[in-house]
Chains A and B, each alone.
Chain A
């Protein structure tokens, strides 16, 4: 079992890198893969370097990073609540983060459809994290009964909070300047279009800092899946670990949302697929992370080039549309499975 998770992690990581390389080579200017690799290794012509490093790499890097962040966030929330439906895109974390980010885009916007400076660099991620934390806090507080979080309630209350946050977003779009609102709406579909390094860096920091911390709790989580009482009598400080991991999951999802919009279904699907493939009793963190990265870059490659390849025309889709098209049927499958289990 253990070697299975290692093999699958390496496999998904390798596939994600291959898809990323392909993604760097295709586009308006087609580049041979060899040129792309040459640039990444520090060589190449100036024009090629510009296309790869400044235009395409930020997008691909953001895709890989938000894939990891969303997937790990989903794995943590699903494990903590013992409910496969409890992922940040379902229980309102992404919606809360969206509301925070859209508030900054609309309220601090210049009316030109583009905010700049400090408001954009720090304001959007910060507002997203605050919005996400607020959503988590409300969901957590409302689903606690006798000091214990009710796993079934989390999803119901979360869906309610998500609806409330989404209506807040809708209101912000109505009152906002048309250009700001347009930009916000495109971002809300979950888009990696024209990402810059300033979008990737906050997610990179979140992943580099928080993923190792989350992995340090791996062993406590493998006691926690046996129930709070068992975990606690095995010496796990249940309340404290729940709180720490809940905050980590929220910040990861919120930072990813700030970076690329609330890309749907990555956090829901990646942990569950990794769980099935590794046959573990909870989503394995590293395998889930690599699968999330693969899912997003692959979806983005299709979103960017799919319509062109299908000879429909030179149109790009937001990546969120592709992940939703794959993820929504999976959600229905999960709900069907849960009801059969009852």
Chain B
């Protein structure tokens, strides 16, 4: 996946992402981090077709995503946007099977291939036992994993995830990140927007730091996440320590008195 000179804006407002170019490494997990308002979620929307770019283009296997028919794109690129609607009473398996939509014909019933993809996706997020439970009765972390299973069932080579760990406590966030990372190890290219720097650094092979609609830094997490960059981009005084080969951000305390 290749982003070329991409400029994204809402209406006539000033661009949120300004002439950004990015080569997404294939078959890896790329995390996009950045302070609030840096344009990281907007970038993800621009990399899918949820936002039409003001200029520039996004290439998927060498083809502009805006030139592809909607269904063909949906068979190559899966997107989990923020704030999906969980309909009242829908079961986990039913929701996951909706990911098969781009593979089905006009009146097509679910084929055995669709069922297999649904089961495999539920297994990948370790929710096979809860498949017949209504999604609105699951915990926040389980619910998020069901949604990830839905995009996994879509069977795409590329995945874009917008803040998949938002509102989750650390244990559930780790469950979700394990699933996301596993998706990348099976050869998929995964891009996830994350707000937790330490989680991003622990799991991502490639880290992209956004600041003011531009890429402030990118590369291996250990090379990118430095005290100088945190101060520069996030305005955060912090110490970066190493745990198990990955950087961990420890904010400097400023205690009163």
- List residues of A whose CB falls within 8 A of some B CB: 1, 82, 146, 216, 219, 222-223, 225-227, 229-230, 232-237, 279-282
Contacts and interface: CB of A to CB of B under 8 A. Distances in A.
B46 interface: no
A234 B102 contact: yes
Interface in B82-127: 82-90, 94-95, 98-99, 101-102, 104, 106-108
29 contacts: A1-B94, A146-B10, A219-B101, A219-B106, A225-B87, A226-B85, A226-B86, A226-B98, A227-B81, A227-B83, A227-B85, A229-B79, A229-B83, A229-B84, A230-B79, A230-B84, A232-B49, A232-B50, A232-B70, A233-B48, A233-B74, A233-B79, A234-B154, A235-B71, A235-B101, A235-B102, A236-B70, A237-B70, A281-B88
B85 A146 contact: no
A279 B89 contact: yes
Contacts of B108: 219
Contact of A82 (B70, B79, B85, B99): B85
B106 A233 contact: no
Nearest to B100: A234
B interface, how many residues as a size bin? 35 or more
Given A233-B50, A234-B74, A223 B10 contact: no
Contacts of B11: 146
A236 B50 CA distance: 12
Given A223-B98, A230-B80, A235-B72, 18 more contacts: A219-B101, A222-B101, A223-B101, A225-B85, A226-B84, A226-B98, A229-B79, A229-B81, A230-B79, A230-B81, A232-B70, A233-B79, A233-B81, A234-B98, A234-B101, A235-B71, A236-B101, A281-B89
Given A225-B87, A230-B85, A235 B98 contact: no
A123 to B, nearest CB: 37
Centre residue among A82, A223, A230, A233 by max chain B CB count within 10 A: A233
The 10 closest A-B pairs by CB, nearest first: A235-B74, A281-B87, A233-B79, A229-B81, A235-B71, A227-B85, A235-B102, A234-B101, A281-B90, A235-B70
**Residue with the greatest number of chain A CB neighbours at <10 A, chosen from B70, B78, B154:** B70
B229 interface: no
A85 to B, nearest CB: 15
A226 B74 contact: no
Contacts of A222: 98, 101
Contacts of B152: none
B6 interface: no
A232 to B, nearest CB: 6
B193 to A, nearest CB: 14
B106 A227 contact: no
Contacts of B106: 216, 219
B98 A233 contact: no
B168 interface: no
A239 to B, nearest CB: 11
B73 interface: yes
A261 to B, nearest CB: 33
A226 to B, nearest CB: 6
B100 to A, nearest CB: 9
A99 B49 CA distance: 41
Contacts of A237: 70
A226 B71 contact: no
